[in-house]
A and B are shown apart, each in its own frame.
Chain A
Amino acid sequence: MHVIIGLEIHCQLNTATKLFCGCSTDYRDDPPNTHVCPVCLALPGALPRVNKKAVEYALRVAKALNLEVAEECEFSRKNYFYPDLPKGYQITQYDRPLAERGVVEIEADDGTPKEVRITRIHMEEDPGRLVHKSGRDRAGYSLVDYNRSGIPLIEIVTEPDLRSPKEARRFLNKLRNTLEYLDVFDGEREGAIRVDANISLEGHNRVECKNISSYKGVEKALTFEITRQKNQIARGHDITRETRHFNEGRGITMSSRSKEEETDYRYFPEPDLRPLRVRDWLDDITLPELPDARKARFVAQYGISHNHARTLTGDMKLANFFEKVAGDDPVLAATWVADTLLGELNYRDMRIDRVPPAHFADLLVLLRADAITDRAGVDVLRVMLDEGAAGEEMELPSAVVDRLGLRKAAGDEFDEVAAQVVEAHPDAVADYQNGTGGALNFLVGQAMRKTRGRADARDLGRRIKELLENKEA
């Protein structure tokens, strides 16, 4: 049974001011109702005025996702009553959206490239936010915060081209990444992205899951829905065509009994705004290098693997970081950033921007000069990141190496350790000479312990073997 998924994604654009007034969009740490004016509070008589920057941002997205931009687009009113919607209607776009018919390439579950068609992109304003007194003693009222009212959003609608929750997730990652490359979106802002997903099993009714507000949530909600729908069908039940809400905390979708879905939005053209001749604006819209192009360039310019290039360019900040530290040995840098650093960051739930590129470059220099072993390199990195995670200033790797004496054992010390180990374990030496395979590894392990990882295991193995052969002779 094929799974059929289509997404409607709402993204907040990171303009400095709101879509229809001059209020600042940077409200997240501020008290409620402090980023408001007559327009976004819907005081009687106030009129909307389109923020050109927001239109430009939306056009960037349209262009990057290969959409056909309308000659002229128009705002419409979507009428419904809800206390977070101060005008009693939302200014959005309806039958004359900004752009239609685009395509985004992602990787299908089998690793082959696949095109996801984009139906349309339109602009709209975010409503305010209801705040409920939380905790056990629920208040018998709601509070409204209009700081969010009028934040510019784009809604991106896909065709039902996605075939699994993982594909949906990959599509969203690609989308988010593209939006960040376009510098129109800050995915780390709380509530910056909200997704409605349409999902059906081939031959059965479609269910709409609303209210998904995280990337992980989309995958979870879809996975839950597929299981639920399959179970329904297995039990011989029909799938009800309905709207369900995703409960992020419980990881389940629930049928919404609200009357909302029956709402007739009574769309009509917004008489307070003129249509926008957006195609005329297109010439002035220039795009930066996008993820796919950057990936190709990384392979060509730095000679790194496709996998590394994909990982690195899959996050703009990571790619920027890599380019700062690539230096003389980009292959080494790619391995250390994509494989080691990324894992350590994820483990600590840390962001790449917390790592000073100069520090990391210093570590790469030590590795490249063979001054420390890979294992010591990982240790140094961990020390550094732990300091960062604790809010302390990060030490330079060379300082960590010196402080902990991690410089690679070499010369006399190296020979001495090898000799000591051979001396201290006559049994193992005998085993070796009797041809017991594990004996050499044991001796190398002992030597590694003695140097606390500062020596290269292969080098040690070679040296100990030399000593043993000499002993035999």
Chain B
Amino acid sequence: MAGTYHFDAADRHNAFITRVESAAFGDGRLAGIPVAVKDNISTRGMQTTCGSRILKGYIPPYDANVVELLREAGAVIVGKTNLDEFGMGTTTENSGFGPTTNPHDPARVPGGSSGGSAAAVAAGMVPMALGTDTGGSIRCPAAFCGIVGLKPTYGRVSRYGLIAYANSLEQIGPMGRSVADVATLMEVIGRYDARDSTSYDRPYTHALSGEIRGMTIGVPAEYFGEGVDPAVAECVRNAIATLEGAGAAVEECSIPSMEYALAAYYVTCTSEASSNLARFDGVRYGPGVGTKRSWHDEFQEFRSEHFGHEVQRRIMLGTFALSAGYYGKYYAKAQVAKENVRRDFLRVLKSVDVIAGPTMPTIAFRLGEKSDPLSMYLSDVLTVPANLAGVPAISVPCGRVQGMPVGLQIIGRHFADEVVVDVAFAFEQEGSACM
């Protein structure tokens, strides 16, 4: 039933960049339910910054497709959540609007880049939120904050209105307190949209089922390799044992191409980003560019001043990877590696229904802990393969280590989003393994 929602929850973790005090809502599936939207998704009439100073004050004149769908379903969009600038980060520390903190321990990061959405849900401010996932940006914060987050199959949710970081890898997805909330939100946003040429006409409709008897779960050795915290690995192994106890068969497997996944991922996403971010020139939106000197001088300075360091680093990396003489060495090779990862997943997913492993190799970092960009990039190793392969992947809380949440990641076949959600639901029903 239509009405007005007053949003007065305190934001103790800097989860929001923009919030509304009250908003009218209509009828529908999500009538009156407050939903937070990551601030790289365009909202008509509501500031959309991508966590960047370069877009401060930008108010889109149009809604992203997913936002239209939310409004049609009666949801209340209560605000725009914090993120690593343009989605570039794993901690939500790289925001032009200050870091978001983890509701389970404010001295730790919430994960990223959809850290604001995860913290808003984990802190109980909203039951569900939209995130975006280019290399783990939904699943990582879901794992770190102890909530559920789904990266849908590439093409299942329209990207129209999503301010792209890496178009070929990125998907908008639902985040929520429970698997059921995530499934509900996915039913609302998982719709074909002709305005996104990479969108498929495979609408998500789903009756949740916790029945996993007869299913085979593949456990790749690479998901428990070097760099994975043994305590986290143990917690996740226990979770997989729980699924086995619920009737699934477990099979060891291997995804050898994962060795190249991180490199392929960082070359691809920085390349695309270097091009995507070219439009931020201070002419049409955001703070204005000066007009005193020549165009090239002014906008160069404008970009140096308004983009954060991590963004500038990735623009430079991507520009390099695409430049003449290096394209073949980097970008083209990354595409080959990406294709190999996809094939590996397709091969493994022929004999198993889903793949399971940890979402993140560790629990949430302390604020400032990952000061070296390379060690930060390495923490994405378990999430990026699903983006390269384009397959759906969900993170569901499966226990705690040192009091911090751990996420179980379940990866499925293309367009089998319903299956990964069911497996997550089955696990949720069975209860956490080592809580």
Contacts and interface: CB of A to CB of B under 8 A. Distances in A.
Given A88-B279, A264-B324, A271-B167, A49 B197 contact: yes
Contacts of A27: none
B409 interface: no
Interface string A19-52: 0000000000000000000100111111111100
A267 B328 CA distance: 11
Contacts of B280: 44
B161 interface: yes
A233 interface: no
Contact of A49 (B62, B162, B195, B271): B195
A86 B284 contact: yes
A177 to B, nearest CB: 35
A98 to B, nearest CB: 17
**Contact size range, B:** 35 or more
Contacts of B238: none
16 contacts: A38-B60, A38-B61, A42-B284, A44-B280, A45-B42, A45-B48, A48-B197, A79-B274, A79-B322, A81-B278, A86-B279, A88-B278, A141-B291, A266-B275, A266-B319, A271-B168
A88 B295 CA distance: 13
A454 B332 CA distance: 80
Interface in B141-183: 159-164, 166-168
Given A44-B50, A274-B198, A88 B324 contact: no
Interface of B: 41-42, 48, 50, 55, 58, 60-62, 64, 159-164, 166-168, 194-198, 271-272, 274-275, 277-281, 283-285, 291, 295-296, 299, 319, 322-324, 327, 331
Main secondary structure of the interface of B (DSSP, over half): loop
Nearest to B300: A81
A77 interface: yes
A43 B195 contact: no
Interface in A273-295: 273-274
Nearest to B271: A268
Nearest to B199: A47
A45 B60 contact: yes
Nearest to A265: B324
Contacts of A144: 283
A140 interface: yes
B161 to A, nearest CB: 4
Contacts of B64: 45
Interface residues of A, number: 31
Given A38-B62, A45-B60, A268 B322 contact: yes
Residue in A77, A140, A141, A273 with the greatest tally of chain B CB atoms within 10 Å: A77
A87 interface: yes
B281 A88 contact: yes
Contacts of A46: 62, 160-161
B297 to A, nearest CB: 12
A122 to B, nearest CB: 18
A272 B58 contact: no
A272 to B, nearest CB: 5
Contact of A44 (B48, B271, B283): B48
A83 interface: yes
Contacts of B62: 38, 43, 46
Contacts of B283: 83, 86, 144
A266 B166 CA distance: 16
A265 B87 CA distance: 25
Given A43-B284, A44-B280, 13 more contacts: A44-B42, A44-B285, A45-B163, A47-B195, A81-B299, A83-B295, A264-B324, A266-B275, A266-B327, A268-B271, A272-B159, A272-B164, A272-B198
Nearest to A270: B167
Nearest to A87: B279
Contacts of A273: 197-198
B189 to A, nearest CB: 15
Given A87-B279, A140-B291, A268-B331, A44 B322 contact: no
A43 B60 CA distance: 8
A89 interface: yes
B426 to A, nearest CB: 35
A44 B279 contact: yes
Interface in A55-99: 77, 79, 81, 83, 86-89
A38 B61 CA distance: 8
A329 to B, nearest CB: 56
Contacts of A41: 284
Q: What 7 A-B pairs have minimum CB-CB distances, sorted nearest first?
A: A88-B278, A266-B322, A271-B168, A271-B167, A44-B163, A45-B161, A45-B42
Contacts of A47: 159-160, 195-197
Contacts of B285: 43-44
A79 B278 contact: yes
B196 A44 contact: no
Q: Which of B163, B281, B285 has the most CB of A within 10 A?
A: B281
A435 to B, nearest CB: 85
B325 to A, nearest CB: 9
